[in-house]
Structure 1
Amino acid sequence: MSITKGHQFSYKFVSMSKGLLFLALIYSIHLFGQGPQIGRTPDWVTPISPKLETTLEGVSSGYYYLLVDQQENLQTEQNYSHFVYKILSNEGLQEMANLSVDYDPAYENVIWHSLIIYRNGKGSDRIKKESVKTIQREQDMDRNLYDGSLTQVINLQDIRVGDVIEYSFTKNGYNPVYEKHYSRTLYFRYGVPFERQFNRIVAPAARLAIRYFNNAPEAIVAQAGKFQEYVWDVGRTEAMFDDRNTPSWYDPYPFAEVSAVNSWKSIIDWGVRQYRFDELKKIDFKAIAGEPWEQGNRDTLITRLIRFVQDDVRYLGFESGIHSHRPHAPAQVFEQRFGDCKDKSLLLVTLLRQLGIEAAPVLVNTNLRQEIVNRLPSINVFNHCVVTFKENGDQYFIDPTISSQGGQWRDVFFPNYGFGLVLSVDQDSLTRLPENKNSRIWEEQDIELTAVNQDALVTIRTTYEGVEADIQRSNIASSSLESIAKNYLTFYGNLYHGIESTDDINIEDDRERNRLIISEQYRVPQFWQKQEADSTTVYCELYALSMENLVNVDKLTSRESPYRLNHPTAYRTTIRLKLPEAWNITEDKEEINGDSYEYEYKVSYNKRTNLLTINHEYKTKADYVASNAIQKFVEDHKRIMGDLSYYLTYKLNSSNAKKPKWIVGLLLFMCLGFAALACWRIYTLYDPEPRFEGEGIQIGGWLFLIGIGVVITPFRLFYQIFFSDDFLDFAMWSSLIDAEQWNWIVLVFVEMLYNSFYLVYSILVLIIFIQRKTSFPRLMSLMLAVSATFLIADTLVAHHMGPGLSDEDLQATYKEIVRGILAALIWIPYLNIADRVKKTFVLQRKPSVTN
């Protein structure tokens, strides 16, 4: 089902376009060339004489309409059109030397009345000389919709600049599917100027409802016998141009809606009649729902039915005649496995009803959305059909034309259509539809550098949820992995020159949770670039390229229209760069809030791991920005665009390279040596009396758990000191010294001293644990208490000195503190009270005389 808004003359009666002959050759079925079907103008038409000469000052287009004359008779079901225009340039000649009239042969025919060419004030009647070609163009074929419309085309011969062209015709017949539910939309301003526009509607005595928008001129209503006439006569009007990027529901042009329908209830009753089919016998329900479907899980059955209609019944519509608004029989749609929105909706309703679920079609307008509540009741105000059903007292909505949707049927994404008309006898008005915001995209870029001015390894992981996962799933289904990989490589090639893919794209699709993850891996050989002003300095750029399309908005602030936003949007980009050495980085944070959008920017740097993290997060709150907020909107998005780029610079001849690097290693081994000496003293001097008389027992019970921790701890600390932490990273020490970060130098040195002692001490504890020495319970208790205390103190000091941990690392540190405190609270009492501990650790280094 479709309805064209269009700011064209007439009710899509006539259209004139460039390349019409080309389109005819490509898309048409060339039927035959013949003379036009000629007839006299209907008697009910009011004759309007054109004004052939007028001042053209200020007219900049290649042609100028002198008269737009459209009249309609509801009783005889006739549409009369009469146009007069003048060719002003070669461009206008190219565009307007062809005439075309669209009609549906299922219920319409075209009668031509006149075709006159005026040149130098003299008219030439061409109506019997020109040839009419009838073609079938199917203008919606790219959307898999075929309405069966034909187009009569007249290619005017010997047309010159300065000629005035006048022609008129009548289209006879209304689509019987409307059942007298008449409605029209009349526009009074267009993208081209005109000298005069005359509109007239002749209707039965019952008064038509008219609603005016944007200061549209009001009709002059007069009684003419048994009929009423509605007349609009508009004088010279300039062209009107709307702003770019306006919401689909926004229409600034003056127009009037005319309707013979007095309530939404009338449209509902009409719709119920169109969507009434009881053909269920031919549908193999079990083949869809699985066997035995009667005993199957109800949620699973509903999901199967929805996905069958969405995925297995392809979107393809033949909408000629009454099927412009009436669906085909569900059994037919099931057998042929294709249909348009009406067909797929009625099929799903039929299947759900067979399962005992209350279901109904819903008419919506994908463009007007919430604005539909301001329109007159009519059939043509809708352009799409979806489904609603009730389960356990709750109402749900499904769009059966969206394929590859994921998630459970209760939370599957449903577009924000605003309001809809539920075709059920118990309804009498529009229904507000749910607004779905459950979707987001999170792109994570992890960049690893082995050294400055060397290649970079880039891993990109993008997580799609909600409707974003649906979109990607559908795109992937219609493309090969090779083409996807090539497109991605080209996309990032705009940022990283010489980028190379190092692995195949990996796609993880969790359709039940409606989450899709795409992972990519690249090598960037030219990650660092030399500065033009200083060849000894290199730089790299970290740019949130994927967010550019979201925030790079029009810069024009002088507009009267709202600005369209893609809503709902929730996009987050995280860039993590593991630097090969310490860097002097200032952390930053910015928040930008508008009525319709919000943005958060954060730069954090972990001085311990040299990890730079940059977060960008952009969300929309509505689908438009009001015209009075455009100034702030543009300024905010300029700031956001500025935040997308982050640069790092590096001096290649840094003095750090000349400093001896063995000092760091010597310092660490001195700490280890001091710790070893201290632990030897503890081992030899601390030898307490046993708390149990006798030979004791072997290690067992809960001591096995303690033993696991005692064995693992030295290995963990060894790896942490020599491979994980940056104690041996000379570049870090040099960077801190160059930046004169003396407080951080002291803190890192204390951490190195503590971890050195901790490593040696843990080895001591392991030895005395294996030897079952009497010193183990207290020395182990001391290690647990000091470990938890130092971790708390170290975190507090680091936090007080300034940001040093990223949010992720901070969360990990908090967890480690909690684990340390819990371990101390549990095991210290156990080590000092439990009988098994007393009976196990009974051996001394030098047993006393009494023992």
Structure 2
Amino acid sequence: MEGCLTKWMSFVLSFFVCAFSMSAFSFEQFSDAPSWVAHPDIPFEHTVPTEQVQDGIYYLLVDKQEHVENNQFHSYRRYVATIVNQQGIDEFSQINITHDPSYEDLAFHKLNVYREGETQNRIDTAQFQLLDIERELESQIYNQQKNLNVLLSDLRVGDTIEYSFSTIGQNPVYSNHYQYTTNLSWSVPVERLYVQINWFEQRPLYFQVFDSQSTYDAANVVNKVDSAAGQIFVVDQSRVAPVIAEDERPVWHSPWRKVEFSDSNNWQRISDWAVDLYRQKIVASPEVSALAKDFAKLPTQKQRISAALQFVQNEIRYVGIEFGVNSHLPSLPSETLARRYGDCKDKTVLLVALLQALNINAWPALVHTEKQQTIAQRLPAVYSFDHVIAKVELEGVTYWLDPTRSYQFGSIDEIYQPDYAFALVVAEGASTLESMRQQDNFSGIEMMETFTLDESYQVPVKLEVDTIYTGWKAAQQRRKLDSDGIAHVSKSYLDYYVGEFGKTTSMAELKVIDNKQSNQFRLQEKYQLEQFWQENDNSMSGYFDTSSVASYLNIPEESSRKYPLELTYPIKVKHQHVVNFATDDWHFDDEKFTEKNDFFDFTYNVEWRQSAKQLKITYQYQANASHVDAQQYDEYLAALKRVEDYQSYSIYKSTHEGVRKSVSA
């Protein structure tokens, strides 16, 4: 988690051996700290804020220093922490430092334990092992990172541990561009935070202080000092208070303040860097051209784009070989096509090459899947992006297509693409971020539950369920069925109705109708409800609710918020209960309720057709926003409460009198 110091950065303090694929090597790179390093004092005199401590560790000093000179990139890290309770011993008994030896040299400097006024040098007694790791195997990403594991013995509650290390080197793919960002607050307290950047280059270094909601006067945080060699930037803060984040925040929102440094202040420089990486890669080999000719046989350009996209999505499996420069440098389309695998940049370059061979305007586009709209607030940097998709232009319309997504079918007009807010298009002359907002009014669910009631309460009620999924919901259901299997999915649906109505029998196998041309995924179910009717005093009642809609209208427990609340978006849901009666002695009043606001639209409609002996209850929901700002939270809660009583319906019939009907929450 970003705000948790112990797990926030790549130099982690918790041990994940069981998750690693590894082999062990000895580690012998020990040295004194580099001469350029400053040595801030450890604040041994302090009071532990025990009520704020997490994981049994209180950080006395977080010391992060960078030194850049003659395009040599040095990093130094020093951590000092006190073990507050038994949990802290478990957390700090092993230290793990991750680096990439293909371009970084790692040196370990100090390992001290302070106990009862004495200093114990533990370098000679600790076990140091360098481990090969593949931390992202489950995501099909392979890299050359190694993990230095340091195993400490004889740790006790009250001990203070200090360790430091440094690295030299930068991934050459960055072409000497520099950017560094670090937190100025976390979800845990820190006694002292020290950050120093020695910038001894001729080009300027820019900096800012920010969080997801604001930027701050950096001059009040960063002390800039000119020296003969260059510039030194220092942040020195004491008693850093924790920032406790709320759950269900949007992925782009970070409440923890950060300081950011970059040698770029415009996106043109980053664009030029990206164009250099991609320029020689987007070429159509004979194999790529032959494949494009197959797609050219389709009658329209839209169909050709869809066919090329689906080919790359489904025929080129996702595997990332991210060794050194390959973390950002794409493969040739012919190589990706031949081996039938690639990561986001490889798959995107292949798709763009195919489309360009079809005389369709297409370019790679760099995005960040988590920063999203906040990237516009950040300093331009080569580290600004974590994903590559394709921008496609056709007949004056811009499409954003992701060749790493799967289970997407149908027209490109109805293919879901997450809104990452901004993209840097890899094209000559691109100098700004481009908005990638697009309207998605097709992703959703349409469900019809048809209940057939007999004249007798003793006869089971028949239920037929017909559900159509579109957009990202269709892709989600295809993936679920492939992953879980139809037997498991069928049982989970049956279990749901057992929970709703008691004893329930499935009357037919789950029917799957996957219309890939229209990108509609349809499921049909049939059940027999043995316990639909509930006997009350002098009446029998039946109950209908709309869980498919109500799940988006849950009222949060907290009465106020400090940070934004994430909403599911885009999504639209229509849920209809059709109730067919066997006799004509029933009667219901028509009803309609509508709620429209900045966050969602909701309608509730009851329609009674006496001649058909049929009752229809229809609920419709459509999200209008991806999140609720904190200052709008009261308004959002009020809207939820207005619709609270319109998410279910009850029917009942007196066993002594005439017919009655009621609506219940």
1:183 aligns with 2:188: no
In structure 2, the partner of 1:369 is 372
SS of residue matched to 1:551: coil
Q: 2:183 is matched by which residue type in structure 1?
A: Y
Alpha-carbon shift at residue 294 of structure 1 (Å): 6.8
Alpha-carbon shift at residue 495 of structure 1 (Å): 1.1
Any conservation in 2 of the 1:289–1:301 contact (CA below 8 Å)?
Answer: no
Label 1:278 to 1:544 Cα distance change in 2 as closer, same or farther (>3 A).
closer
Alpha-carbon shift at residue 144 of structure 1 (Å): 2.0
Whole-angstrom distance in 1 between the partners of 2:11 and 2:288: 45
In structure 2, the partner of 1:755 is none
Label 1:300 to 1:107 Cα distance change in 2 as closer, same or farther (>3 A).
same
1:523 aligns with 2:517: no
Whole-angstrom distance in 2 between the partners of 1:615 and 1:278: 51
In structure 1, the partner of 2:68 is 74
Alpha-carbon shift at residue 8 of structure 1 (Å): 3.5
In structure 1, the partner of 2:387 is 384
Whole-angstrom distance in 2 between the partners of 1:300 and 1:624: 34
In structure 2, the partner of 1:25 is 18
Alpha-carbon shift at residue 348 of structure 1 (Å): 0.7
In structure 1, the partner of 2:419 is 416
Alpha-carbon shift at residue 11 of structure 1 (Å): 8.2
Q: 1:527 is matched by which residue type in structure 2?
A: F
In structure 2, the partner of 1:349 is 352
Task: Give runs of aligned pairs for residues 220-235 of structure 1, distance below 5 A.
Answer: 220-235=223-238
Label 1:529 to 1:305 Cα distance change in 2 as closer, same or farther (>3 A).
same
TM-score scaled by length of structure 1? 0.72
Whole-angstrom distance in 2 between the partners of 1:157 and 1:462: 59
Alpha-carbon shift at residue 636 of structure 1 (Å): 2.9
Alpha-carbon shift at residue 615 of structure 1 (Å): 1.3
Alpha-carbon shift at residue 407 of structure 1 (Å): 2.0
Q: 1:362 is matched by which residue type in structure 2?
A: A
1:64 aligns with 2:58: yes
Whole-angstrom distance in 2 between the partners of 1:13 and 1:515: 42
Any conservation in 1 of the 2:282–2:352 contact (CA below 8 Å)?
Answer: no
SS of residue matched to 2:431: coil
Q: 1:49 is matched by which residue type in structure 2?
A: D
In structure 2, the partner of 1:782 is none
Any conservation in 2 of the 1:98–1:154 contact (CA below 8 Å)?
Answer: yes
1:244 aligns with 2:237: no
Correspondence for 1:115 among 111, 114, 121: 111
Label 1:587 to 1:300 Cα distance change in 2 as closer, same or farther (>3 A).
closer
In structure 2, the partner of 1:155 is 151
Any conservation in 2 of the 1:505–1:520 contact (CA below 8 Å)?
Answer: yes
Please give the per-residue CA displacement for 1:781-814, whole angstroms capped at 9, x wherever unaligned.
xxxxxxxxxxxxxxxxxxxxxxxxxxxxxxxxxx
Alpha-carbon shift at residue 509 of structure 1 (Å): 2.0
Any conservation in 2 of the 1:36–1:128 contact (CA below 8 Å)?
Answer: no
1:447 aligns with 2:451: yes
Alpha-carbon shift at residue 98 of structure 1 (Å): 1.6
In structure 2, the partner of 1:502 is 507
Alpha-carbon shift at residue 173 of structure 1 (Å): 1.1
1:209 aligns with 2:206: yes
SS of residue matched to 1:195: strand
1:612 aligns with 2:615: yes
In structure 1, the partner of 2:570 is 568
In structure 1, the partner of 2:470 is 465
Q: Which has the higher contact order (CA 8 A, sep 6+)?
A: 2
Alpha-carbon shift at residue 452 of structure 1 (Å): 4.3
Please give the per-residue CA displacement for 1:117-139, whole angstroms capped at 9, x wherever unaligned.
11111110001221112234433
Correspondence for 2:137 among 135, 141, 150: 141
Larger radius of gyration: 1
Greater share of residues in helix:
1
Whole-angstrom distance in 2 between the partners of 1:411 and 1:557: 38
Q: 1:173 is matched by which residue type in structure 2?
A: G
Correspondence for 1:280 among 281, 284, 304: 284
Alpha-carbon shift at residue 462 of structure 1 (Å): 0.9
SS of residue matched to 1:146: strand
Any conservation in 1 of the 2:445–2:572 contact (CA below 8 Å)?
Answer: yes
In structure 2, the partner of 1:789 is none
Label 1:390 to 1:550 Cα distance change in 2 as closer, same or farther (>3 A).
same
Alpha-carbon shift at residue 206 of structure 1 (Å): 2.9
Q: 2:528 is matched by which residue type in structure 1?
A: R
TM-score scaled by length of structure 2? 0.92
Alpha-carbon shift at residue 494 of structure 1 (Å): 2.3
SS of residue matched to 1:74: strand
In structure 2, the partner of 1:753 is none
Any conservation in 2 of the 1:135–1:150 contact (CA below 8 Å)?
Answer: yes
Structure 2 regions of 5+ residues with no counterpart?
Answer: none
Label 1:88 to 1:584 Cα distance change in 2 as closer, same or farther (>3 A).
same
Q: 2:164 is matched by which residue type in structure 1?
A: S
Please give the per-residue CA displacement for 1:375-417, whole angstroms capped at 9, x wherever unaligned.
2111222111111133345433211111221222354333222
Alpha-carbon shift at residue 92 of structure 1 (Å): 1.9
Q: 1:43 is matched by which residue type in structure 2?
A: S
Whole-angstrom distance in 2 between the partners of 1:294 and 1:509: 25
Alpha-carbon shift at residue 239 of structure 1 (Å): 1.4
Label 1:381 to 1:340 Cα distance change in 2 as closer, same or farther (>3 A).
same
In structure 2, the partner of 1:49 is 41
Q: 2:37 is matched by which residue type in structure 1?
A: V
Whole-angstrom distance in 2 between the partners of 1:579 and 1:546: 24
The alignment covers a number of residue pairs equal to 646
In structure 1, the partner of 2:492 is 487
Q: 1:86 is matched by which residue type in structure 2?
A: T
RMSD: 2.3
SS of residue matched to 2:239: coil
Any conservation in 2 of the 1:572–1:616 contact (CA below 8 Å)?
Answer: yes
